A = this chain, B = another copy of it.
Amino acid sequence: MKQNATLKKIAERLNVSISTVSRALKNHPDISEETKKKINELAALLEYDPNPYAVNLRTHSSKEFAVVVPSLSNFFYHSFISAIEEDARIDGYTVIIYRSANDPVIEQEILKSCRHKRVSGIFIAITSGTKEIEPFLKLDLQGIPVVFFDKVPKYESCNKICVGDAHAATIAANEILKKGITNVLAIFGDENMSITQVRLQKFTEIVSGYAEFKAVHANNSEEAEQIALSMIPGFEKKRFAVFCMSDEILVGAMKAIQRMGLKVPADLGVISISDGMIPSLFYPEITYAETSGFKLGKLAFGRMMRCIAGSSFAQTIIDESILIEGGSI
Protein backbone atom coordinates (compact mmCIF):
# COMPACT_ATOMS: atom_id res chain seq x y z
CA MET A 1 0.00 0.00 0.00
CA LYS A 2 1.60 3.19 -1.23
CA GLN A 3 1.76 5.91 1.40
CA ASN A 4 0.46 9.34 0.63
CA ALA A 5 2.99 12.12 0.52
CA THR A 6 2.98 14.56 3.44
CA LEU A 7 4.62 17.87 4.15
CA LYS A 8 6.94 16.12 6.53
CA LYS A 9 8.25 13.70 3.93
CA ILE A 10 8.91 16.46 1.46
CA ALA A 11 10.62 18.51 4.16
CA GLU A 12 12.89 15.63 5.15
CA ARG A 13 13.93 14.81 1.63
CA LEU A 14 14.78 18.43 0.93
CA ASN A 15 16.27 19.26 4.29
CA VAL A 16 13.97 22.14 4.94
CA SER A 17 11.32 22.65 7.59
CA ILE A 18 7.69 21.65 7.33
CA SER A 19 6.70 25.30 7.59
CA THR A 20 8.74 26.16 4.57
CA VAL A 21 7.20 23.39 2.53
CA SER A 22 3.74 24.45 3.56
CA ARG A 23 4.43 28.03 2.59
CA ALA A 24 6.15 27.20 -0.66
CA LEU A 25 3.18 25.13 -1.74
CA LYS A 26 0.86 28.03 -1.07
CA ASN A 27 3.13 30.33 -2.99
CA HIS A 28 3.76 32.46 0.05
CA PRO A 29 5.77 35.62 -0.85
CA ASP A 30 8.28 35.02 1.95
CA ILE A 31 9.78 31.97 0.30
CA SER A 32 12.58 32.32 -2.26
CA GLU A 33 11.87 31.35 -5.82
CA GLU A 34 14.57 28.76 -5.74
CA THR A 35 13.18 26.99 -2.71
CA LYS A 36 9.68 27.17 -4.08
CA LYS A 37 10.82 25.60 -7.29
CA LYS A 38 12.49 22.57 -5.78
CA ILE A 39 9.63 22.02 -3.34
CA ASN A 40 7.00 22.24 -6.01
CA GLU A 41 8.92 19.85 -8.20
CA LEU A 42 9.21 17.21 -5.53
CA ALA A 43 5.59 17.70 -4.52
CA ALA A 44 4.50 17.12 -8.08
CA LEU A 45 6.69 14.06 -8.33
CA LEU A 46 5.28 12.62 -5.12
CA GLU A 47 1.74 13.59 -6.14
CA TYR A 48 1.39 15.49 -2.93
CA ASP A 49 -2.09 16.58 -1.95
CA PRO A 50 -2.95 18.04 1.40
CA ASN A 51 -4.85 15.80 3.76
CA PRO A 52 -8.25 17.47 3.90
CA TYR A 53 -8.92 16.24 7.41
CA ALA A 54 -5.82 17.90 8.74
CA VAL A 55 -6.55 21.08 6.86
CA ASN A 56 -10.07 21.18 8.11
CA LEU A 57 -9.06 20.47 11.66
CA ARG A 58 -6.77 23.44 11.50
CA THR A 59 -8.79 25.87 9.49
CA HIS A 60 -12.37 24.86 10.30
CA SER A 61 -13.45 25.12 6.74
CA SER A 62 -14.19 22.46 4.24
CA LYS A 63 -14.83 24.12 0.90
CA GLU A 64 -17.67 21.69 0.46
CA PHE A 65 -21.32 22.33 -0.26
CA ALA A 66 -24.10 19.88 0.54
CA VAL A 67 -27.16 19.51 -1.64
CA VAL A 68 -30.02 17.66 0.02
CA VAL A 69 -32.93 16.42 -2.08
CA PRO A 70 -35.85 14.11 -1.34
CA SER A 71 -35.25 12.10 -4.49
CA LEU A 72 -32.60 11.73 -7.14
CA SER A 73 -34.63 10.33 -10.01
CA ASN A 74 -35.90 13.72 -10.85
CA PHE A 75 -34.76 15.69 -13.81
CA PHE A 76 -35.50 18.98 -12.11
CA TYR A 77 -33.15 18.27 -9.21
CA HIS A 78 -30.63 16.87 -11.57
CA SER A 79 -30.48 20.15 -13.49
CA PHE A 80 -30.38 22.07 -10.25
CA ILE A 81 -27.41 20.06 -9.04
CA SER A 82 -25.63 20.46 -12.37
CA ALA A 83 -25.88 24.20 -12.04
CA ILE A 84 -24.55 24.15 -8.50
CA GLU A 85 -21.68 21.89 -9.46
CA GLU A 86 -20.77 24.04 -12.41
CA ASP A 87 -20.46 27.17 -10.29
CA ALA A 88 -18.93 25.42 -7.32
CA ARG A 89 -16.14 23.98 -9.42
CA ILE A 90 -15.18 27.46 -10.55
CA ASP A 91 -14.90 28.66 -7.00
CA GLY A 92 -13.00 25.60 -5.84
CA TYR A 93 -15.80 24.02 -3.87
CA THR A 94 -16.77 20.38 -3.89
CA VAL A 95 -20.43 19.36 -3.95
CA ILE A 96 -21.77 16.40 -2.07
CA ILE A 97 -25.27 15.16 -2.66
CA TYR A 98 -27.49 13.73 0.00
CA ARG A 99 -30.81 12.00 -0.50
CA SER A 100 -33.37 12.36 2.28
CA ALA A 101 -35.71 9.81 0.69
CA ASN A 102 -38.41 12.30 1.72
CA ASP A 103 -37.98 11.11 5.32
CA PRO A 104 -37.71 13.83 8.00
CA VAL A 105 -35.67 11.54 10.25
CA ILE A 106 -33.06 10.91 7.59
CA GLU A 107 -33.12 14.60 6.81
CA GLN A 108 -32.17 15.39 10.40
CA GLU A 109 -29.33 12.89 10.30
CA ILE A 110 -28.01 14.49 7.14
CA LEU A 111 -28.19 17.88 8.78
CA LYS A 112 -26.21 16.60 11.73
CA SER A 113 -23.62 15.14 9.44
CA CYS A 114 -23.36 18.46 7.60
CA ARG A 115 -22.87 20.29 10.84
CA HIS A 116 -20.07 18.01 11.99
CA LYS A 117 -18.38 18.19 8.68
CA ARG A 118 -18.70 21.95 8.85
CA VAL A 119 -19.77 22.13 5.25
CA SER A 120 -19.54 25.59 3.81
CA GLY A 121 -23.23 25.70 3.04
CA ILE A 122 -26.36 23.65 2.44
CA PHE A 123 -28.82 23.72 -0.41
CA ILE A 124 -31.94 21.84 0.56
CA ALA A 125 -35.35 20.86 -0.77
CA ILE A 126 -37.13 19.77 2.38
CA THR A 127 -39.26 16.65 2.76
CA SER A 128 -43.02 16.95 2.65
CA GLY A 129 -43.10 15.90 6.31
CA THR A 130 -40.58 18.42 7.60
CA LYS A 131 -42.21 20.21 10.51
CA GLU A 132 -39.50 21.92 12.48
CA ILE A 133 -37.22 24.41 10.94
CA GLU A 134 -35.27 25.35 14.06
CA PRO A 135 -32.49 22.90 13.21
CA PHE A 136 -32.02 24.76 9.95
CA LEU A 137 -31.97 28.14 11.61
CA LYS A 138 -29.50 26.81 14.15
CA LEU A 139 -27.11 25.87 11.38
CA ASP A 140 -27.41 29.34 9.99
CA LEU A 141 -26.48 30.73 13.40
CA GLN A 142 -23.46 28.44 13.57
CA GLY A 143 -22.21 29.99 10.41
CA ILE A 144 -23.42 27.40 7.92
CA PRO A 145 -25.73 29.17 5.46
CA VAL A 146 -28.84 27.29 4.41
CA VAL A 147 -30.51 28.03 1.11
CA PHE A 148 -33.88 26.35 0.59
CA PHE A 149 -34.98 25.60 -2.94
CA ASP A 150 -38.07 24.23 -4.65
CA LYS A 151 -39.63 22.62 -1.56
CA VAL A 152 -39.28 25.40 0.95
CA PRO A 153 -40.71 26.01 4.41
CA LYS A 154 -43.43 28.57 4.93
CA TYR A 155 -41.35 30.43 7.51
CA GLU A 156 -40.61 33.90 6.25
CA SER A 157 -37.08 34.85 7.15
CA CYS A 158 -34.93 32.35 5.44
CA ASN A 159 -33.29 32.07 2.06
CA LYS A 160 -35.69 30.59 -0.43
CA ILE A 161 -35.36 30.09 -4.15
CA CYS A 162 -38.56 28.89 -5.79
CA VAL A 163 -40.14 28.26 -9.09
CA GLY A 164 -42.61 31.02 -9.91
CA ASP A 165 -45.78 28.94 -9.78
CA ALA A 166 -48.16 31.76 -10.59
CA HIS A 167 -46.02 32.84 -13.49
CA ALA A 168 -45.77 29.34 -14.96
CA ALA A 169 -49.54 28.91 -14.75
CA THR A 170 -50.01 32.29 -16.38
CA ILE A 171 -47.79 31.41 -19.31
CA ALA A 172 -49.57 28.12 -19.92
CA ALA A 173 -53.02 29.69 -19.62
CA ASN A 174 -52.13 32.52 -21.99
CA GLU A 175 -50.80 30.11 -24.56
CA ILE A 176 -54.08 28.20 -24.45
CA LEU A 177 -56.09 31.34 -25.07
CA LYS A 178 -53.69 32.50 -27.77
CA LYS A 179 -54.25 29.28 -29.69
CA GLY A 180 -57.96 29.91 -29.73
CA ILE A 181 -58.76 26.97 -27.48
CA THR A 182 -62.22 27.25 -25.99
CA ASN A 183 -62.54 23.96 -24.10
CA VAL A 184 -60.04 23.02 -21.43
CA LEU A 185 -59.60 20.04 -19.15
CA ALA A 186 -57.12 21.14 -16.48
CA ILE A 187 -55.63 18.43 -14.29
CA PHE A 188 -53.96 19.51 -11.07
CA GLY A 189 -52.09 17.60 -8.38
CA ASP A 190 -52.69 17.08 -4.67
CA GLU A 191 -55.07 19.79 -3.46
CA ASN A 192 -53.18 20.25 -0.21
CA MET A 193 -49.91 21.28 -1.75
CA SER A 194 -49.37 25.01 -1.88
CA ILE A 195 -47.93 24.73 -5.36
CA THR A 196 -51.22 23.20 -6.53
CA GLN A 197 -53.23 25.96 -4.95
CA VAL A 198 -51.18 28.73 -6.50
CA ARG A 199 -51.20 27.17 -9.95
CA LEU A 200 -54.91 26.41 -9.82
CA GLN A 201 -55.87 29.87 -8.69
CA LYS A 202 -53.84 31.70 -11.28
CA PHE A 203 -54.86 29.39 -14.09
CA THR A 204 -58.52 29.77 -13.24
CA GLU A 205 -58.23 33.51 -13.00
CA ILE A 206 -56.91 33.80 -16.52
CA VAL A 207 -58.88 31.16 -18.35
CA SER A 208 -62.32 31.69 -16.88
CA GLY A 209 -64.50 33.88 -19.02
CA TYR A 210 -62.54 32.99 -22.14
CA ALA A 211 -62.91 29.23 -22.21
CA GLU A 212 -65.16 26.50 -20.90
CA PHE A 213 -63.01 24.67 -18.46
CA LYS A 214 -63.10 21.97 -15.92
CA ALA A 215 -60.45 21.68 -13.20
CA VAL A 216 -59.84 18.34 -11.50
CA HIS A 217 -57.31 16.91 -9.07
CA ALA A 218 -55.25 13.73 -9.36
CA ASN A 219 -52.84 12.48 -6.73
CA ASN A 220 -50.70 10.43 -9.07
CA SER A 221 -50.22 9.29 -12.65
CA GLU A 222 -52.79 6.52 -12.46
CA GLU A 223 -55.48 8.87 -11.21
CA ALA A 224 -54.61 11.34 -13.93
CA GLU A 225 -54.90 8.59 -16.50
CA GLN A 226 -58.29 7.51 -15.21
CA ILE A 227 -59.56 11.07 -15.14
CA ALA A 228 -58.37 11.70 -18.67
CA LEU A 229 -59.91 8.45 -19.88
CA SER A 230 -63.27 9.21 -18.38
CA MET A 231 -63.45 12.93 -19.07
CA ILE A 232 -61.85 13.53 -22.44
CA PRO A 233 -64.64 11.73 -24.35
CA GLY A 234 -67.14 14.20 -22.89
CA PHE A 235 -65.47 17.19 -24.50
CA GLU A 236 -66.19 18.56 -27.93
CA LYS A 237 -62.84 17.88 -29.60
CA LYS A 238 -62.82 21.07 -31.54
CA ARG A 239 -60.53 23.67 -30.07
CA PHE A 240 -59.95 21.49 -27.03
CA ALA A 241 -56.84 21.13 -24.88
CA VAL A 242 -55.66 19.33 -21.77
CA PHE A 243 -53.52 21.22 -19.28
CA CYS A 244 -51.29 19.17 -16.96
CA MET A 245 -49.90 20.82 -13.86
CA SER A 246 -46.86 18.54 -13.54
CA ASP A 247 -44.89 15.75 -15.13
CA GLU A 248 -46.66 13.19 -13.03
CA ILE A 249 -50.03 14.33 -14.34
CA LEU A 250 -48.72 14.61 -17.88
CA VAL A 251 -47.53 11.01 -17.89
CA GLY A 252 -51.00 9.79 -16.91
CA ALA A 253 -52.79 12.02 -19.38
CA MET A 254 -50.54 10.98 -22.24
CA LYS A 255 -51.15 7.33 -21.49
CA ALA A 256 -54.87 7.91 -21.70
CA ILE A 257 -54.48 9.84 -24.94
CA GLN A 258 -52.37 7.10 -26.51
CA ARG A 259 -54.83 4.52 -25.26
CA MET A 260 -57.75 6.27 -26.90
CA GLY A 261 -55.77 6.56 -30.09
CA LEU A 262 -56.14 10.33 -30.22
CA LYS A 263 -53.75 12.45 -32.27
CA VAL A 264 -51.91 15.38 -30.75
CA PRO A 265 -52.39 18.18 -31.73
CA ALA A 266 -54.96 17.33 -34.41
CA ASP A 267 -57.57 15.87 -32.06
CA LEU A 268 -56.62 17.82 -28.97
CA GLY A 269 -53.92 20.11 -27.64
CA VAL A 270 -51.70 19.26 -24.67
CA ILE A 271 -49.75 21.72 -22.55
CA SER A 272 -47.99 21.32 -19.23
CA ILE A 273 -45.65 22.77 -16.64
CA SER A 274 -42.38 20.87 -16.56
CA ASP A 275 -38.62 20.98 -16.52
CA GLY A 276 -38.60 19.53 -20.00
CA MET A 277 -37.49 15.94 -19.69
CA ILE A 278 -40.85 14.16 -19.90
CA PRO A 279 -42.26 16.47 -22.60
CA SER A 280 -39.35 15.52 -24.85
CA LEU A 281 -40.24 11.83 -24.74
CA PHE A 282 -43.27 12.20 -26.97
CA TYR A 283 -43.82 13.06 -30.59
CA PRO A 284 -44.75 15.77 -31.12
CA GLU A 285 -42.92 17.04 -28.07
CA ILE A 286 -45.23 18.59 -25.52
CA THR A 287 -45.40 22.37 -25.21
CA TYR A 288 -44.71 23.46 -21.62
CA ALA A 289 -44.03 26.35 -19.32
CA GLU A 290 -40.49 25.67 -18.25
CA THR A 291 -39.52 25.54 -14.62
CA SER A 292 -35.79 25.30 -14.98
CA GLY A 293 -33.84 23.51 -12.31
CA PHE A 294 -30.69 24.82 -13.89
CA LYS A 295 -31.68 28.45 -13.60
CA LEU A 296 -32.87 27.84 -10.07
CA GLY A 297 -29.48 26.35 -9.26
CA LYS A 298 -27.68 29.38 -10.60
CA LEU A 299 -29.85 31.68 -8.53
CA ALA A 300 -29.39 29.56 -5.43
CA PHE A 301 -25.64 29.51 -5.84
CA GLY A 302 -25.53 33.26 -6.20
CA ARG A 303 -27.55 33.63 -3.04
CA MET A 304 -25.29 31.20 -1.20
CA MET A 305 -22.15 33.09 -2.12
CA ARG A 306 -23.69 36.26 -0.87
CA CYS A 307 -24.51 34.55 2.42
CA ILE A 308 -20.93 33.36 2.73
CA ALA A 309 -19.72 36.84 1.98
CA GLY A 310 -21.64 37.91 5.04
CA SER A 311 -25.02 39.08 3.85
CA SER A 312 -27.26 37.79 6.57
CA PHE A 313 -30.32 39.35 5.04
CA ALA A 314 -32.70 36.49 4.28
CA GLN A 315 -34.32 36.73 0.94
CA THR A 316 -36.85 34.98 -1.25
CA ILE A 317 -36.04 34.72 -4.91
CA ILE A 318 -38.54 33.47 -7.41
CA ASP A 319 -37.58 32.22 -10.80
CA GLU A 320 -39.85 33.00 -13.73
CA SER A 321 -40.68 30.56 -16.50
CA ILE A 322 -40.63 30.68 -20.25
CA LEU A 323 -42.74 28.86 -22.80
CA ILE A 324 -41.07 26.03 -24.67
CA GLU A 325 -43.03 25.15 -27.78
CA GLY A 326 -43.15 21.51 -28.70
CA GLY A 327 -45.90 21.29 -31.26
CA SER A 328 -48.52 19.66 -29.05
CA ILE A 329 -50.94 22.57 -29.08
Chain A residues within CB distance 8 Å of chain B: 1-2, 4, 49-54, 56-57, 71-75, 77-78, 81-82, 85, 94, 96-99, 101, 112-113, 115-118, 138, 141-143, 251, 254-256, 258-259, 261, 263, 277-278, 281-283
Chain B residue at minimum C-beta to C-beta distance from A62: B53
Residues of chain B within 8 A of A2, CB atoms compared: 138, 141-142
Chain B residues with Cβ below 8 Å from A4 are: 115-116, 142
B82/A77 in contact, CB under 8 A: no
Given the interface pairs A98-B97, A283-B255, the reply to whether A78 lies near B71 with Cβ below 8 Å is yes
Give the chain B neighbours of A99 by CB distance below 8 A: 81-82, 85, 97
In the assembled complex, 22 residue pairs joining A and B whose CB atoms fall closer than 8 Å, in A order, are: A1-B142, A2-B142, A4-B115, A51-B116, A52-B53, A53-B54, A53-B56, A53-B57, A53-B117, A57-B57, A72-B72, A72-B81, A73-B73, A73-B78, A81-B99, A82-B101, A97-B98, A97-B99, A255-B281, A255-B282, A258-B283, A261-B263
B85 pairs with A77, CB closer than 8 A: no
Residue of B nearest to A142 (CB): B1
B-chain residues with CB within 8 Å of residue A71 when the two chains form the complex: 78
Residues of B close to A57: CB separation below 8 A:
51, 53-54, 57
Contact B49 A116, beta carbon cutoff 8 Å: yes
Q: Which residues of the partner chain B approach A49 to less than 8 Å between Cβ atoms?
A: 112, 116
Question: Inside 8 A of A258's CB, which chain B residues have their CB?
Answer: 282-283
The residue that A73 contacts in the complex, of B75, B101, B251, B283, with Cβ under 8 A, is: B75
Q: Which of A53, A117, A281 is most buried by chain B, counting CB atoms within 10 A of its CB? A: A53
Q: Which residues of B contact A282 (CB under 8 A)?
A: 255, 258
Separation in Å of the A85 CB from the closest CB of chain B? 7
A52 and B1 CA atoms in complex are apart in Å by 24
Q: How far is the CA of A4 from the CA of B49 in the complex (A)?
A: 28
Contacts of A78 in B (CB 8 A): 71-73
Report whether B1 and A143 are in contact in the complex, using a CB–CB cutoff of 8 Å: yes
Say yes or no: A73-B116 contact (C-beta < 8 A), given A51-B57, A258-B283: no
A216 to chain B, nearest CB (A): 20
Query: With the chains together, A82 CA to B261 CA distance in Å?
Result: 36
Q: How far is B188's CA from A147's CA once the two chains are assembled, in angstroms?
A: 43
Cβ contacts under 8 Å, A251 to chain B: 281
Cα distance A142–B278 in the bound complex, in angstroms: 43
